[in-house]
Amino acid sequence: MYWLDDTLKKQIKNIVQKLKKSQKVHIVSHIDADGITSASIAYKALERAGNEVSVEFIKQLESDKISSLRDAEHELIWFTDFGSGQLEALNGIDCIITDHHEPQGTAGMPTGVQRGNILSYANSTVLELNPHRYGINGATELSGAGTTYLVAREMGDNKDLSKLAVVGAVGDLQTVRDGKLIGKNREILQDGTDGRYIECRKETTLYGLESRPIPKVLQYASDPVLPGLTGDGTACTNFLTDLNIPLKEDGDWRKWYQLSQGEKKKILSAVGKRMLEHGYPPSYVESLVGEVYTFPGEDKGSMVHEAKEFSTLLNSCGRYKKGEIGLKICLGDRDEYYNKAMQLLQGHRQVLVDCMKYVESVGITRMDNLQYFHGGDRIPDTVLGTVVGMVLGSGNVDRDMPMLGFTESGEKEGLKVSSRGTKQLTDAGLDLSIVMSNCSKQLGGEGGGHNIAAGAFIPEGTEEEFLSLADEIIKKQLS
């Protein structure tokens, strides 16, 4: 669809023009890894272009926040990794949006029809770039950081920032479905490998290749769950010992990246064999191998050498109100702020362990078309989505229905809802973005996101009603 590609290029140029006319730019971004890398890309590109730049990170672009931004009268605001769900509310504020969430009013529409919607915003003060409007899937082919990078690349010599765009896409789990970056993300990856900012190799898709002791890589594996290994540390150690894999070297735990090719192959074949014996389809075994992205400029074994782990480090900052620390790391700090982030990472890991234990204690409730848990006030709203995803991938629940979670722990009165699906479910018609946005709207809340992962904020005490509305819509989507 070359005409869409043309209009995409034109829109990027419009945005660059608008940026050139402004002296001061205020960046507002999301608190997760994709949001932090998006803001960092915008920051660096603007700084290089000689602009004065300020940044703030927020959980969600809700209406009260939009009002306070309107009152602040910034010369120009650049929203990254959100904004497309709030186009109408943002009108009147001079701003740019580089986002990949489903645009307001277009969720679920086929691409092309979505484009028609741009026209209704033609007189708006908002200039938006969103892949969904140009035939690019914002859940799998381009992240918020990638969308922002497309603008940065047009602003000047900024191809080194492709590295951050890859961290953003990986952090938003855009490689999960295919085991590698696809679509527009791949074009960005190419910029990175051409410039030797990024290396790409075939590897296992398991998490923690540089930071975790090898038994932990297996023990914490989810999606697919490794039969007899996931969740059982002793079994993992015995399994590796039986394969004659030395677990320690000079008293230190060995990491996956330190294994020889032969050792890696031996482990993966044995794991694959086990999965087949347990009746897993071959595609699950194949999903154990994919692409891994590493950064030659960084120290091996650090949290910033490989994209997935880099994104975890950023999440450990942003989700605890320390987005600026993540920003400093993206801008190059490997000293003071890197060390601070490493401390936050310890805390983040502990929070996730505690949340998983709590969910186990309260249990999962199954309805006809969805399953859910209620986190009471024990799960921080900023990690609820991560926890819902981990529960769905834990191997202890069925994956034939989407998983929802509730928490009351936010600063405002009300409930945060998070939802996660699977590829099988979205292929069958599930669109959680529509579920979250419609159901919350009917109850006086707000919500949105992607087909496979979406969230909402709803008034206190409305969870029962929300669940029955959601159950009904999901039933329709999947029938």
Q: Distance between CA 416 and CA 456 in Å, rounded?
A: 6
Among the listed residues 274, 226, 242, the one whose alpha carbon sits nearest the alpha carbon of residue 393: 226
Q: Segment near ligand C5P (CB under 6 A), from 218-226, 396-404, 446-454, 461-469?
A: 446-454
| 254 binds ligand C5P per the rule CB under 6 A | no
| 452 binds ligand C5P per the rule CB under 6 A | yes
Q: Segment near Zn ion (CB under 5 A), from 144-152, 215-223, 343-351, 419-427?
A: 144-152
| 457 binds ligand C5P per the rule CB under 6 A | yes
Answer yes or no: are the C-beta atoms of 309 and 211 closer than 8 Å: yes
Answer yes or no: are the C-beta atoms of 249 and 258 closer than 8 Å: yes
| 34 binds Zn ion per the rule CB under 5 A | yes
Q: Distance between CA 35 and CA 143 in Å, rounded?
A: 9
Q: What share of the chain is helix, strand, coil (3-state, %, to 5)?
A: 50, 15, 35
Among 390, 403, 454, 458, which residue sits at the site for ligand C5P (rule: CB under 6 A)? Answer: 454
| 81 binds Zn ion per the rule CB under 5 A | yes
Closest to ligand C5P by CB, 23 or 68:
68
CA angle (263, 199, 41) in 5-degree steps: 135
Q: Which are the contacts of 386, defined by CB distance < 8 A and separation ≥ 6?
A: 315, 319, 352
63, burial (CB in 10 Å: exposed 0-12, middle 13-18, buried 19+)? exposed
Among 15, 127, 173, 221, which residue sits at the site for ligand C5P (rule: CB under 6 A)? Answer: 173
Rounded alpha-carbon distances, angstroms, from residue 191 to 158, 194, 310, 359: 10, 5, 19, 42
Closest to ligand C5P by CB, 217 or 452:
452
Rounded alpha-carbon distances, angstroms, from residue 426 to 318, 337, 451, 478: 28, 39, 7, 9
Q: Segment near ligand C5P (CB under 6 A), from 79-87, 129-137, 277-285, 305-313?
A: 79-87
Among 318, 385, 402, 414, which residue sits at the site for ligand C5P (rule: CB under 6 A)? Answer: 385
List the x/- string, 364-403, binding to Zn ion by CB under 5 A.
Answer: ----------------------------------------
The whole-angstrom distance between residue 405's C-alpha and the CA centroid of its chain comes to 17
178's tokens? 């295919």
Give a three-class secondary structure readout of 438-472: HHHHHCCCEEEECCCEEEEEECCCCHHHHHHHHHH
- Helices (H) and strands (E) counted in the chain, each on its own, are 19, 15
| 470 binds ligand C5P per the rule CB under 6 A | no
Closest to Zn ion by CB, 329 or 474:
329
Q: Segment near ligand C5P (CB under 6 A), from 28-36, 42-50, 108-116, 223-231?
A: 28-36
AA letter at 424 = Q
- Select the binding partner of residue 322 from ligand C5P, Zn ion, none (C-beta < 5 to 8 A, by kind): none
Closest to Zn ion by CB, 144 or 402:
144
Q: Segment near ligand C5P (CB under 6 A), from 9-17, 224-232, 440-448, 464-472?
A: 440-448
Residue nearest to ligand C5P (CB): 385
List the x/- string, 333-352, binding to ligand C5P by CB under 6 A.
Answer: --------------------
74's tokens? 């910034």
| 179 binds ligand C5P per the rule CB under 6 A | no
Q: Which residues bind Zn ion (CB under 5 A)?
A: 34, 81, 144, 172
- Which spans of this chain sit near ligand C5P (rule: CB under 6 A)? 30, 32, 34, 60, 81-82, 85, 101, 144, 172-173, 176-177, 385, 389, 418, 420, 446-450, 452-457
